[in-house]
Structures are given as C-alpha cells and as structure tokens.
A and B are shown apart, each in its own frame.
Chain A
C-alpha cells in the first residue's frame, strides 16, 4: 500500500515526530514522550492530527430514514448539531465499524469512520441507502481533522483568534459563550479565518475536548493557530501512542481490538447503541435480536498489581494454576495515569463479574488480574 501523508505532515516532521503506519497512513506515533503527551491531555491539553479518519456524507430528504436502516442507532431521532456514537453491523450482527454520526442539517449527516474501514463503510452506506432518496459522498480526502483534548481545551479554543460561529457575530466575539454552552456530543458549524469548519465537542480520550473538521488546505493554519494560543496553557502535540493509552484508560473500544465482525454489540457492552424498540428494519436486526450464542464471551476491564502489562492476544486463564483458557486480552498497557497494569479482555460469561480473580500468561509468567468495571479512569467534572 502506498503511504499516505496527512496535510499536516510537514508540521509533524518539523516537530520531530516519530511516525507509524496506520491503515496505510504515515501518522505521528509520538513527538517526544508518549507518557508526557498522555499526562498533558489529562492535566492540560493535547492536539492530535486525525486526518486519516474517514468522513462520509449522507444527504437528501430521506437521509435520516436511510441511516436508521443502515446503522444500529436511531439517527432520525437526533437534532441538528447532535452527534451520536453508532455501529455499522453486518447481517449476522457483527460489527463492521464503529462510527460517530453528526447531524449537520435536516437532510444532512456526516458519518466518521475509522481510517482502516473508510472504503467498506462508504461502500456499505452507498449500498444500504440506495432505495432511499439520498446520496452518499465520501469526502474523506476533502476534510482534515484536528482534535484538541484535555481539561483546558475550551480555554485554548477561546484563546485562538479566527473562529466565528455560524449565525453569530462575524468577528467571533461570541465564540467563548457559544463554545461554553456547547454540550458534549454536540457540534457547531462555524468558520476559521473564513474557511468553513465543524466544531464538535467529542473525543476519544475520556477528557473534555473538541474535534475540528476543516479543509486540508487550511489544516496547517488551524494547527499553528491552536498550538500558538494553546502552548501557554499547556497544550502539546500528541501522537497515536498516547491516544491509545488515553482511550484504554477511558474504557473506549477500538476497532480491530475490542470490536470486529465476530463481535456482537452486546458482548462489547454496546447493547445500548442498538435501537430495536422504536425503529423499523435495519441491517443486522434479526441477528442482534436473536443475540449471540449462549456461551459468547463478554468484554471486561482487568487490573493488576505491579508493572507487567498484558498485551493484545495474551491468553486469560481461570486461575494462576489453571490451564483452562477462558478468555483473551484485546488491549493492555501500564496505565500512565493510574500506574498499574490495565487491560480489556473477552472472557467467558462465568468469569465476567467484578472482583473475579483471573490469570494472564505474560510471556511465560502468570500474573493475577482482577475484573473491574469500565472505565478505568473518569475525568473529574469541573
């Protein structure tokens, strides 16, 4: 696969970033220290380049009904400016991708897909919405995404000159007020130095934060303005390594780890995302209503003492002296915030209750882990 570069690539190179291949994209994995970047997001703020994400628009008078059929949630119940976490299921109830859907107009939605699933999501949405009066546009190449995440995010956006909110003062004097009023999982249309922009109060770190969708030609200008205004408030550029430990602490699933076509939503703790009672047919309905097999594994959080972290694909056993495999780790790390090993794993239902002691084979050594409710970390409300 040809390496794709973000429109912000030159900035990352200049900042001394290390890069990783992510779904065919060369993206910053860290700038200097992934731990420092992680802590900055928990205590001040970090700025992330997420331009590899896919943005697919569904537009037309029947767009809402079309998405009700294509996705697991009831998107027709959203209001303009609302964002909704949802799932694209296959006919067997498995998860093709997890997405965030933004309603940007009466007849207009933006579906944000994982970079690795952009093509399949665009193809499935095109196919599934064909009977409806609407059109599907894959605008992924026309949109960059910059996220500012952390408790000081709002201050940083307010300190950045050049924002204006649609329908507000053109000089942006009301931006502070509008951003402060913006609720979690809500978005505002606006502009940055006359360029159209979508400002969403969403994220994948477990902290307050914003995600800014902008044209690739203006992403660098936006990044620089945010970085300049944010640096005195503690903002640092943050790479995908810290993004992964942040989302893990927040108990958020990652496609390819906790989510996949072999997983039913209910196994991943996402039963609430699937709406069956108040909407009509949708792809995967029959399968999710029948439910997974009775012996299906369920996603749990696990914590341990010490410093040795379980990693994805390590086997989980019933006890330290048992050879009976009862589960598998999907994500794990030494939690930078908590200082203890944390992991998510799929385990047999009999072992999924909180405080159950389990055992993980960590490269030949067994370590006891304890089942704990997710998330591992919750931001303090201010």
Chain B
C-alpha cells in the first residue's frame, strides 16, 4: 500500500496508484468520509473499455450515491471483488483494501499531486 503522498489524485476525489502501465484506483479518505457508511459498490467488469472522465461505477452509502469516474482511458484488468462483498472496506481502508479497480492504460493524463489535491480540499 502506497502512502498518501505517493499517490496521484483527481478532482473527483479518486486516488490513482501508477505502476508501469497499470493504474489502481480508489476513492480518497475525504470522499469516503463525506459519503458515510458505504453499503453497495458497483464496479465495471474485467475487460470493459473505459473512457477517461466517464462514469463507470457507483459507490452507495446509506445517505447518497457517489459515482466512480474513470481517471484514465484504458481497460479494466481487475476489480476488487472483496469490496463488492464487503463495501465497508471503502470506509475502513480507502487507500488499501478498499481499492476499487485496476486499469491497463496507454497514456496517463495529468493528475494531481498530493499537495495539489490537499489544496483543492482546502478551497
């Protein structure tokens, strides 16, 4: 598991861990806290082609629905089935066991650094 400062971020409150041409994606602790207890996670199937910025899944809490946006163009390599069975992992360990999908990409769009993301939260 990477530390907060090693991850990259999107303005949609997702984190991205880049390793070669794969990107692991989850939602930030801030987003998990804002959602409240997550009770249902709907993730795209392995093999699905994703377009950066499109809605590809849902993270539902008792109070509201959060959308999962694809942070990069690519294809779903893996989805975290543990999170589908145990959605509370998104709250208990958003940057670790609560990861959502792993995407194979060819080109990485500009993402936010930890400092940039933190600055965004402060606004």
Q: Please report A residues at the B interface, Cβ cutoff 8 Å.
A: 18, 29-30, 33-36, 38, 241, 244-245, 307-309, 311, 333-334, 336, 363
Known: A18-B33, A33-B91, A363-B58. A309 touches B40 (CB 8 A): yes
Q: Which residues on the B side are within 8 Å of A29 (C-beta)?
A: 36, 63
Listed from nearest, the 10 A-B pairs whose CB atoms lie closest are: A307-B40, A35-B37, A334-B39, A34-B36, A241-B63, A34-B37, A33-B37, A333-B62, A34-B62, A245-B62
Q: Are B62 and A336 within 8 A (Cβ)?
A: yes
B60 located at the interface, meaning its Cβ lies under 8 Å from any Cβ of chain A in the complex: yes
Q: Which residues on the A side are within 8 Å of B33 (C-beta)?
A: 18
Chain A contact surface mostly:
mixed
Known: A34-B36, A35-B39. A309 touches B60 (CB 8 A): yes
List B residues 25-58 near A (Cβ within 8 Å).
Answer: 33-34, 36-37, 39-40, 42, 58
Q: Which residues on the B side are within 8 Å of A18 (C-beta)?
A: 33-34, 36
Q: Are B65 and A334 within 8 A (Cβ)?
A: no
Q: Which residues on the A side are within 8 Å of B91 (C-beta)?
A: 33
Q: How far is the CA of A4 from the CA of B42 in the complex (A)?
A: 37
Closest CB of chain A to B121's CB: distance in Å? 14
Q: Which residues on the A side are within 8 Å of B36 (C-beta)?
A: 18, 29-30, 33-34, 241
Contact sample, A vs B, 23 pairs, CB 8 Å cutoff: A18-B33, A29-B36, A30-B36, A33-B36, A33-B37, A34-B36, A34-B61, A34-B62, A35-B62, A35-B88, A36-B37, A241-B36, A241-B62, A245-B62, A308-B42, A311-B64, A311-B65, A333-B62, A333-B63, A334-B40, A334-B60, A334-B62, A336-B62
Closest CB of chain A to B15's CB: distance in Å? 20
Kindly supply a per-residue 1/0 record for chain B positions 90-112, scoring 1 wherever the CB is within 8 Å of any chain A CB and 0 otherwise: 01000000000000000000000
Q: How far is the CA of A334 from the CA of B42 in the complex (A)?
A: 14
Most buried by A among B34, B39, B58: B39
Q: How far is the CA of A363 from the CA of B63 in the complex (A)?
A: 15
Kindly supply a per-residue 1/0 record for chain B positions 1-31, scoring 1 wherever the CB is within 8 Å of any chain A CB and 0 otherwise: 0000000000000000000000000000000
Q: Please report B residues at the A interface, Cβ cutoff 8 Å.
A: 33-34, 36-37, 39-40, 42, 58, 60-65, 88, 91
Q: Which residues on the A side are within 8 Å of B34 (C-beta)?
A: 18
Q: Are B63 and A34 within 8 A (Cβ)?
A: yes
Q: How far is the CA of A249 from the CA of B33 in the complex (A)?
A: 24
Q: Which residues on the B side are within 8 Å of A36 (C-beta)?
A: 37
Least CB separation from A311: chain B residue: B65
Q: How far is the CA of A30 from the CA of B88 in the complex (A)?
A: 16
Q: Which residues on the B side are within 8 Å of A363 (C-beta)?
A: 58, 65
Q: Which residues on the A side are within 8 Å of B60 (C-beta)?
A: 307-309, 334
Q: How far is the CA of A241 from the CA of B37 in the complex (A)?
A: 10
Least CB separation from B87: chain A residue: A307
Closest CB of chain A to B37's CB: distance in Å? 4
Q: How far is the CA of A29 from the CA of B42 in the complex (A)?
A: 25
For the A-B complex with A307-B60, A309-B39, A309-B40 known, give 12 more contacts whose Cβ atoms are closer than 8 Å.
A18-B33, A30-B36, A30-B37, A33-B36, A34-B37, A38-B62, A244-B63, A308-B40, A311-B65, A333-B63, A334-B60, A363-B65
Q: Are B62 and A307 within 8 A (Cβ)?
A: no
Q: Which residues on the B side are within 8 Å of A334 (C-beta)?
A: 39-40, 60, 62
Most buried by A among B39, B62, B64, B88: B62
Q: Which residues on the B side are within 8 Å of A308 (C-beta)?
A: 40, 42, 60
Least CB separation from B37: chain A residue: A35
Q: Which residues on the B side are within 8 Å of A336 (C-beta)?
A: 39, 62
Q: Which residues on the B side are within 8 Å of A309 (C-beta)?
A: 39-40, 60
Q: How far is the CA of A308 from the CA of B39 in the complex (A)?
A: 9
Q: Which residues on the A side are within 8 Å of B37 (C-beta)?
A: 30, 33-36
Q: Which residues on the B side are within 8 Å of A244 (C-beta)?
A: 63
Q: Which residues on the B side are within 8 Å of A311 (C-beta)?
A: 64-65
Least CB separation from A240: chain B residue: B63
Least CB separation from B33: chain A residue: A18
Closest CB of chain A to B56's CB: distance in Å? 13
Q: Which residues on the B side are within 8 Å of A34 (C-beta)?
A: 36-37, 61-63
Q: How far is the CA of A308 from the CA of B58 in the complex (A)?
A: 10
Least CB separation from B91: chain A residue: A33
Q: How far is the CA of A244 from the CA of B37 in the complex (A)?
A: 14
Q: How far is the CA of A311 from the CA of B61 in the complex (A)?
A: 11
Q: How far is the CA of A90 from the CA of B77 in the complex (A)?
A: 59
Q: How far is the CA of A336 from the CA of B64 in the complex (A)?
A: 14
Q: How far is the CA of A285 from the CA of B63 in the complex (A)?
A: 37
Q: How far is the CA of A124 from the CA of B26 in the complex (A)?
A: 51
Q: How far is the CA of A309 from the CA of B87 in the complex (A)?
A: 14
